[in-house]
Amino acid sequence: MISRILIANRGEIAVRIIRAAKELGLKTVLAHSKADRDSLAAKLADETVCIGPPPAVESYLFYQNIISAALATKSDAIHPGYGFLAENWQFADACRAMKIRFIGPKSSVIRNMGDKSKAKTLVKESGVPVVPGSDGEIDSLQKALEVVERVGFPVIIKASAGGGGKGMRIVCEKKDVEKSFNSAAYEAQQAFGDSRVYIEKYIAAPKHIEVQILGDKHGNVLHLFERDCSIQRRHQKLIEEAPSPIIDNETRMKMGEIASKAAQSVGYDSAGTIEFLYDIETRQFYFIEMNTRIQVEHPITECITGIDLIKYQIRIADGDKLDFSQDKLKITGHAIECRINAEDPEKEFNPSPGKISQLIVPGGPGIRIDSGVYPGYSIPPFYDSMVAKLIVWGADRREAVDRMKRALDEFYIEGIKTTIPFHKEVMRNRIFLSGQYTTDFVGKIQNQGV
């Protein structure tokens, strides 16, 4: 039985895991870098242990230190959160070798799904629609040209080990294939230590729709409906909502069933997400990848289903069976999440770390804030720029949008620039309000002022 969880992460997700663990009556140990000694998570955990200097490679990514910290603090489980080691199968294996429960799926599944081109091949075999493109990775220019010839321009070259929108190149003409192929491979090598790339048809202006999955160790897999994550800049999400404003119920259930089937076919036994691109013209959807971890945007699914995903992750890792069935799940109301990043939206979302001199957070009905900061806190420059997530729930989309507008007006942060002004603009935007927005929406606001 799990009794003490070491949290191998930082920021808001570390706080979120501490909260779930405490409600389950479990002890928490926060593994933190020297830069995070004064973090909110460090104040809330039962115990803390320093795992190294500020750079992530020497602390949050240095898994030998993290495992030693778990053994030294007698932790019997590790929650990796998202990012850092969350999708590192060697880390999951190392935990198992030391008899520490890794709160996530089996390492073989992390490994297979972490290789995005392999994941596509695997799910395609179980009948899941995938974006047309290369079957597996492309190891020569010749092969790249053959695929391009077959699927037609535009195409997107993507890193097999990809994540965070890195290592992607959109190619519209034959003369650019070689240059883009080489630069995508180079960027992938720099970012992931793995230069392998694959090619997909580039779908012009799709919606990014993803389905939340929960599987247990007894062969049960359920889906918790979809999230619409189409508001992105540089292929990274900024605002998410659940359910999607434009997916009809029939499509919703079909996507859910396909996502469950894909997860079941790989023996999935934790919380995970199947990501699709949805073509709003043809209403076709295509698998792009599976994320084998909890996602940043998980709270909106929690708001509309009433399911605490982190608690289920922990209980499933402990061997518990899912105690509800698909037909018991239903969507209640509508939820929206705005990512509050320490960035300047007027300066191309450049990071804006610094000290939060004043902080007033919104409250009242239907508001949830998942944050890792407090007044007087200095945001370290070493990590991700997200400092808080503002999540609202409303009885319907209209109430959720009105509530988000009200909450953004109440949110007051002094000392740093944040994405709050951007979110306020989106909540008033007519394309956003129509629900018809696609992944090119942020670019359109910036370049065309739509």
Selected binder of ligand ADP within 83, 105, 206, 415 (CB under 6 A): 206
Window of 19-27, 80-88, 99-107, 155-163 that interacts with ligand ADP by CB under 6 A: 155-163
Strand extents, DSSP E, 395-450: 412-414
Give the shortest CB-330-to-ligand ADP separation in angstroms.
27
Q: Which residue do the tokens 């695997």 mark? A: 122
For residues 326 and 222, is the Cβ–Cβ distance under 8 A?
yes
- The DSSP letter of residue 331 is -
270-289 residues in contact with ligand ADP (CB under 6 A) are 275, 277, 288-289
Give the shortest CB-236-to-ligand ADP separation in angstroms.
7
Task: Output the CA–CA distances (angstroms, integers) from residue 20 to 13, 309, 314, in the order listed.
Answer: 11, 9, 9
Q: Kindly tell me which of 11 and 162 has the beta carbon lying closer to ligand ADP.
A: 162
Q: What string marks each residue from 156 to 195 as x (binds ligand ADP by CB under 6 A) or -?
A: x-----xxxx------------------------------
Q: Is 220 helix (H, G, I), strand (E, B) or coil?
A: coil
Site size with ligand ADP, rule: CB under 6 A: 18
Q: Kindly tell me which of 41 and 211 has the beta carbon lying closer to ligand ADP.
A: 211
Task: Output the CA–CA distances (angstroms, integers) from residue 367 to 272, 338, 403, in the order listed.
Answer: 25, 12, 8
13-52 residues in contact with ligand ADP (CB under 6 A) are none
Window of 19-27, 203-211, 388-396, 429-437 that interacts with ligand ADP by CB under 6 A: 203-211
397 is catalytic: no
Give the shortest CB-78-to-ligand ADP separation in angstroms.
23
Q: Kindly tell me which of 20 and 131 has the beta carbon lying closer to ligand ADP.
A: 131
Catalytic annotation, pick one of 252, 293, 315, 368: 293
How far is Cα 40 from Cα 388, in angstroms, rounded to an integer? 12
Window of 89-97, 142-150, 186-194, 196-204 that interacts with ligand ADP by CB under 6 A: 196-204
Q: Are strands 350-351 and 358-360 parallel, antiparallel or unpaired?
A: unpaired
Window of 90-98, 197-205, 351-359, 400-408 that interacts with ligand ADP by CB under 6 A: 197-205
How far is Cα 154 from Cα 328, in angstroms, rounded to an integer? 43
Q: What string marks each residue from 88 to 127 as x (binds ligand ADP by CB under 6 A) or -?
A: ----------------------------------------
How far is Cα 207 from Cα 196, in angstroms, rounded to an integer? 26
Give the shortest CB-209-to-ligand ADP separation in angstroms.
9
| Nearest Cα residue to 24 out of 11, 7, 5 | 5
Contact status: 131 vs ligand ADP (CB under 6 A):
yes
H helices of 46-115, in order, are: 63-72, 89-97, 107-114
Contact status: 232 vs ligand ADP (CB under 6 A):
yes
Q: Are strands 155-159 and 197-201 parallel, antiparallel or unpaired?
A: antiparallel
How far is Cα 388 from Cα 419, in angstroms, rounded to an integer? 10
Q: Kindly tell me which of 94 and 188 has the beta carbon lying closer to ligand ADP.
A: 188
Q: Kindly tell me which of 208 and 227 has the beta carbon lying closer to ligand ADP.
A: 208
Contact status: 203 vs ligand ADP (CB under 6 A):
yes
Give the shortest CB-27-to-ligand ADP separation in angstroms.
34
For residues 257 and 298, is the Cβ–Cβ distance under 8 A?
no
How far is Cα 13 from Cα 343, in angstroms, rounded to an integer? 19
How far is Cα 66 from Cα 60, in angstroms, rounded to an integer? 8
Q: Kindly tell me which of 220 and 439 has the beta carbon lying closer to ligand ADP.
A: 439
Give the shortest CB-238-to-ligand ADP separation in angstroms.
12
Selected binder of ligand ADP within 19, 235, 311, 444 (CB under 6 A): 235
- The DSSP letter of residue 129 is -
Residues whose CB falls within 8 Å of the CB of residue 178, separated by 6 or more in sequence, listed in order? 141, 144
Window of 35-43, 200-208, 318-326, 372-380 that interacts with ligand ADP by CB under 6 A: 200-208
For residues 344 and 238, is the Cβ–Cβ distance under 8 A?
no
What is the CB neighbour count within 10 angstroms for residue 265? 15
For residues 128 and 258, is the Cβ–Cβ distance under 8 A?
yes
Give the shortest CB-235-to-ligand ADP separation in angstroms.
4
Q: In what order do the strands lie in the sheet with 169-171?
A: 169-171, 155-159, 197-201
How far is Cα 206 from Cα 188, in angstroms, rounded to an integer? 24
Window of 76-84, 198-206, 245-253, 255-263 that interacts with ligand ADP by CB under 6 A: 198-206
| Nearest Cα residue to 339 out of 379, 372, 386 | 386
364-383 residues in contact with ligand ADP (CB under 6 A) are none
Contact status: 439 vs ligand ADP (CB under 6 A):
yes
- Catalytic residues, by residue number, are 293
Question: Under the rule (CB under 6 A), what is the footprint of ligand ADP?
Answer: 131, 156, 162-165, 200, 202-203, 206, 208, 232, 235, 275, 277, 288-289, 439
